[in-house]
Structure formats: C-alpha cells, structure tokens
C-alpha cells in the first residue's frame, strides 16, 4: 500500500474510474501530486520528475511561476467572480487581439472545447449553413460535431477518397455524423474533391496546424493554402484550432502561413496561465453574431465563469512573459531536444522516429515519419512499444504526454533536455529485442 494507492481506492468509490480525467490513469493506480515548481513535479511519495507534459501543453512557464502567483494572489483578495465586468477582461482582450493579424474582436470562454464549439456555432450563425468539415483524426474537444472521426480505425474509417464520419461516444446522433464532412489531412487533391461535393452546405472548415492526435504532424503549406482559397471561393469560413498551437509563434501557428488569415481562431490551454480558459477571436463581422447590442442576435452567448478575473489576470501575466525573446528561446531549446532525440534513436539503432515543431515533439515507434492520420495510426504492436517507453521514462524521472509527446516550458534548459535524451536512449536500448 502507498499514499497514492489509498487515494485511488477512495476515488474509485466516488468517481467513474476513480478520476475526472482519464489521462491521469496508470496501472496499478495513478500517482498524486504534492507540488510543482518550475519544470519539476513532486508526487506524494516524494519522487521528483521533470515535467514534459505541462498539464497537456497548458503550462508555458511551468509550475507556480512567481510573477503569475503574485498577480493571482493579489486578485484573490479582491474576489474571484462577479456579475459585473472587470478591467482584467478588457486588459487581456486588448493584449490578445494585438498578438495576431487575424484578430479584430474576441471573447473568452472556459475551455478549448468550448472555444471550438463557439467557433462552429458562430460559423453556422454567420453563414446560415449547418455542416462543418474537419481533418480525419484531429482532436477538437468534446463537442459532438468536433470529435467525429478523431478515433477512427482501419476497420471503420472507410475509403481514403471518402472517409467515414465515425462517432467517438456511443449514442452520438446520426444527425451529428451526417453534418460532419471528413477530409484527409495533408492530402490536397482528395480534400478539395470532398469539399467541392459539399460546397453548398459547409459553414466552415476547421483545421489544427499541428494536430497532436493525428501525429503532431505539421500541416503542409499547399494543403492549408488550398483549403483557405476554397473557403474564399465558396463563402465558407476557415477556423483554426490553436488551442495547443498558439505557443508556436508570438501570434500562433497561423504565422507560419503568410497571407492566410482564418476567419475565426479557437484558443485555450496556455493562455490561461495555469487556470481553465478558452477564447475565440477573428473577423469583427463574424464575431458580431454574438453581439447582444445588435437588433437580431444570431448566436446568444454567455458563461458564468467566462472571463473571470483570476484567469484573466493569470493569463495576461503569462502571455506578457511569453514575448518574442521567450518564444525564440523555447523554440531553439526544442530544436535541441529534437536533435538529441534523433541522436538517441540513431545510437539505439531501432525503427523509431519523431515529429513536431515549435516547442513540441512526439516519438513514434515507426521507421518513417508519418504525414497523415492513416500513416501515423498506432497499431497494437506500436501501442505496446510506446507504453513500454513511457513507463521507462516515468520510472527514470520523466513525465510525458501519454502519446509519447513532449512539450517544453520556458523554465527548462539544456540540463533537462540532456536528462530526457539519456532516458530515451536507455529506454530504447532496453527495448531493442521488442521491435
């Protein structure tokens, strides 16, 4: 018995699976945190680990950053939520709108799921159309429409020329599936054909420019530009899901693509400074479907904890700190991490590879880098190999996302990267006979 196993036994009695987040589960039981400081997390058993998960990419400055802690502590003494406006919301909205060329107006919500959901509803309200298109395998949160085909498999994903709309949750209405058009990621020719077949019905196309679930594979420019041009031609909207990728550049991953401005962008995770958050931003005329001052409000929108002053304060301080200098530093460090991982794979001489960009990377148990969801699909053998490596890294003091993905924080240095690459090499060497 341990403190963690005892806590888990108690959790099993009051929560399905003993938790509210499936991602914390480990066998025989999850571990529980004592504290986080900088890029290190200490569990209640007293074991310290380097945190390359950063609460699923949401902690750009690691844990308990002094500037964020100080600002939030001051706001706590003033109150946490009100039914009147706060200056904190206005200050933070001004900051976010000024970060990206495509942002004219914005609104805050409480999660990335809610941000994407609001973008899709705004697109429908603006265009008067019901269908949306998304890339096969892409994760866009919990919304019925946004999650379609994020977990499709060879036995149900259909022909590549016409991918099936596959439900994630049992009980998903067929009507929801019928209103989601699936396009293959990074396959311009097939995607354009599918979009053309649904041109009159599509309110928007939603894209993640570095989709984690697809394989942390960067969207290629030809694909993104073709989708953008298609939406211009067919009076549809382009929505970028930057809930994870807004950390890629000062103004998000969209800065990779010159001259391509999405109509709407969903954000979340790091912009909350460690607190629950979501936001959507974009063209003023599209955002104004939520404007309560207009004669006819097309999309009534509110939320009890949206733009609460704790999140607004923490987020603004976090993003103030994530300036151009911090961005360059973290991305250079990530380049060093990817180089170190490549060296570890080469030395171990195993059929593995990695993908990623900006301050993120993912290790695949494949000999060649995937370029699409179907290329990157993790089969049973690869799943077991990934699990083995993750367990080795965890035991060696490294916390990763459960897809064997890592994300950096600004408080990391080469010391932590060297520790990671040594652990990866050690794990791959131990696993050689399993490949």
User: For residue 181, is it within any domain?
Assistant: yes
Q: Does residue 152 sit in the same domain as residue 257? A: yes
Cβ atoms of 409 and 51 closer than 8 Å: yes
- Reported as type and span, the H/E element at residue 37 is strand 33-37
CATH of the domain at 353: 3.90.1150.10
End-to-end CA distance of the chain: 34
Q: Which of 321, 339, 373 delimits the end of a domain?
A: 321
d(CA 246, CA 255): 10
User: For residue 219, is it within any domain?
Assistant: yes
Give the chain's domain count.
Answer: 2
d(CA 216, CA 356): 5
Q: Which of 8, 269, 366, 373 is catalytic?
A: 269
Query: Taking residues 413-432, what's their average pLDDT?
Result: 97
Q: Which of 303, 321, 339 delimits the end of a domain?
A: 321
Q: Which of 301, 321, 341 delimits the end of a domain?
A: 321
Is the predicted pLDDT of residue 8 greater than 90, yes or no? yes
In this prediction the pTM is 0.96
User: For residue 15, is it within any domain?
Assistant: no
pLDDT value of residue 286: 98
Q: Which of 144, 187, 241, 263 is catalytic?
A: 241
Which domain covers residue 41, as residue numbers? 31-60+323-434
Can 269 be counted among the known catalytic residues? yes
Query: Taking residues 350-355, what's their average pLDDT?
Result: 96
pLDDT value of residue 1: 76
Q: Does residue 106 sit in the same domain as residue 226? A: yes
Q: Does residue 202 sit in the same domain as residue 216? A: yes
User: For residue 1, is it within any domain?
Assistant: no
Dmax of the chain from CA atoms? 69
pLDDT value of residue 182: 98
Q: Does residue 412 sit in the same domain as residue 338? A: yes
Q: Does residue 46 sit in the same domain as residue 98? A: no
How does strand 105-109 pair with strand 278-282? antiparallel
User: For residue 270, is it within any domain?
Assistant: yes
Q: Does residue 266 sit in the same domain as residue 338? A: no
Question: pLDDT band for position 16 (50/70/90)?
Answer: very high
List Cα–Cα distances, 358 to 102, 354, 406, in angstroms. Answer: 20, 13, 11
Q: Which of 40, 92, 139, 373 is catalytic?
A: 139
Q: Does residue 313 sit in the same domain as residue 373? A: no
Q: Does residue 303 sit in the same domain as residue 359? A: no
d(CA 35, CA 43): 7
d(CA 408, CA 414): 11
Structure tokens at 35: 């504290």
Query: Taking residues 240-246, what's their average pLDDT?
Result: 98
Q: Does residue 288 sit in the same domain as residue 346? A: no
């Amino acid at each position: 018995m341990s403190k963690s196993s005892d806590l888990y036994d108690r959790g099993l009695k009051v929560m399905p699976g003993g938790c509210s987040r499936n991602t914390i589960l480990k066998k025989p039981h999850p571990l529980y945190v004592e504290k986080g400081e900088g890029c290190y997390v200490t569990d209640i058993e007293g074991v310290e680990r380097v945190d390359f998960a950063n609460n699923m990419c949401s902690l750009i400055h690691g844990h308990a950053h002094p500037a964020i802690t100080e600002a939030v502590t001051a706001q706590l003494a003033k109150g946490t939520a009100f039914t009147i406006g706060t200056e904190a919301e206005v200050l933070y909205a001004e900051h976010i709108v000024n970060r990206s060329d495509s942002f004219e107006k914005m609104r805050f919500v409480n999660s990335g799921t809610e941000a994407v959901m609001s973008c899709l509803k705004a697109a429908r309200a603006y265009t008067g159309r019901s269908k949306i298109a998304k890339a096969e395998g892409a994760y866009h949160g919990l919304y019925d429409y946004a999650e379609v085909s994020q977990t499709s498999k060879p036995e149900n994903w259909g022909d590549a020329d016409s991918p099936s709309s596959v439900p994630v949750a049992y009980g998903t209405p067929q009507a929801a599936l019928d209103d989601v058009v699936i396009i293959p990621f990074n396959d311009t020719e097939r995607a354009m054909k599918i979009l053309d077949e649904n041109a009159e019905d599509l309110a928007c196309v939603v894209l993640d420019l570095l989709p984690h679930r697809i394989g942390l594979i960067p969207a290629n420019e030809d694909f993104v530009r073709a989708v953008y041009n298609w939406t211009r031609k067919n009076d549809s909207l382009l929505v970028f899901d930057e809930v994870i990728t807004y950390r890629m550049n000062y103004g998000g991953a969209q800065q990779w693509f010159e001259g391509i401005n999405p109509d709407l962008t969903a954000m979340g995770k790091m912009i909350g400074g460690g607190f629950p958050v979501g936001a959507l931003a974009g063209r003023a005329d599209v955002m104004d479907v939520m404007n309560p001052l207009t004669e006819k409000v097309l999309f009534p929108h509110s939320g009890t904890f949206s733009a609460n002053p704790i999140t607004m304060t923490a987020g603004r301080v976090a993003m103030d700190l994530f300036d151009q200098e911090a961005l360059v530093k973290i991305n250079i460090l990530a380049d060093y991490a990817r180089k170190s991982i490549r060296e570890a794979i080469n030395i171990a001489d195993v059929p593995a590879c990695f993908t990623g960009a900006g301050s993120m990377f993912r290790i695949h148990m494949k000999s060649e880098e995937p370029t699409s969801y179907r290329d990157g699909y993790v089969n049973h053998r690869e799943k077991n190999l990934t699990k083995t490596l993750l367990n080795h890294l965890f035991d060696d003091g490294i916390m990763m996302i459960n897809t064997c993905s890592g994300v950096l924080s600004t408080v990391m240095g080469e010391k932590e990267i060297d520790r990671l690459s040594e652990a990866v090499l050690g794990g791959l060497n131990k696993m050689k006979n399993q490949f």
